[in-house]
Amino acid sequence: MESFEESETTTILIAEDDEPIRDLIGRILEKPGYRLLMAQDGKEAAEIAAAHDGPIDLLLSDVMMPELDGPHLAAIVQDARPDIRLIFMSGYSNGLLKLLDRNCMFIQKPFHPGTLVDAVRSRWPSHCGRRRCWPIPGRAGTRRRSVPAAASHQRMV
């Protein structure tokens, strides 16, 4: 399991267009000590990623956003930062998993705060590749990873 010291050195770029959800995700991920860069949509996230001088270890992005959706955002960010890890989240699941590369992690909204923290922590074991998460024409993916939503009696994001 990731220690507090390790999380203090991890920077996460969060792209979520729903402000209350973005704020809640921020509060959840601040508790373990992650450094957060918050964006209100994909376009702003791309601008933050381009302007940020330090490392960005993880992109946590909603799939459906105005201006620039999550998959296109991921492609832009990965061009400049090929080692970035990715997690997509969405409340719309119909057909989304078919579009995501098998190596991509996907969290279905609503989700329990513990599910989010576990998903973020799970991107660091050595068996989790740093490969592109969105399909690249002509390249075959590996294994898809999906994090199930938590039970309905728990507090959800």
Q: What is the pLDDT of residues 30-59, one digit of tens each?
A: 999 999 999 999 999 999 999 999 999 999
Tokens at residue 36, please? 């957060």
Type of residue found at 69: D
Tokens at residue 57, please? 């270890």
Instruction: Show Cβ contacts of residue 101 under 8 Å, excluding neighbours closer than 6 positions.
Output: 131, 132, 133, 134, 135, 136, 141, 142, 144
Q: Is residue 152 part of a domain?
A: no
Range of the structural domain that residue 28 is part of = 4-134+142-147
pTM: 0.76
pLDDT tens-digit profile of 102-152? 557 888 888 899 999 999 988 875 434 444 444 333 333 333 333 333 333
Number of domains observed in the structure of the chain:
1
**Model pLDDT, residue 90:** 87
Q: Is residue 155 part of a domain?
A: no
Q: Is residue 9 part of a domain?
A: yes
Coil, strand or helix at 25: helix
Q: Is residue 34 part of a domain?
A: yes
16 has pLDDT over 90: yes
First-residue to last-residue Cα distance in the chain = 23
Q: Is residue 8 part of a domain?
A: yes
Q: Is residue 154 part of a domain?
A: no
Measure the CA–CA gap between 129 and 82, rounded to whole angstroms.
11
Q: Is residue 153 part of a domain?
A: no
What integer is the mean pLDDT of 51-68? Answer: 94
**Model pLDDT, residue 131:** 43
**Model pLDDT, residue 123:** 82
Q: Is residue 157 part of a domain?
A: no
Q: Are 28 and 120 in contact (CB under 8 A)?
A: no
Read off the CATH number of the domain in which 63 is found: 3.40.50.2300
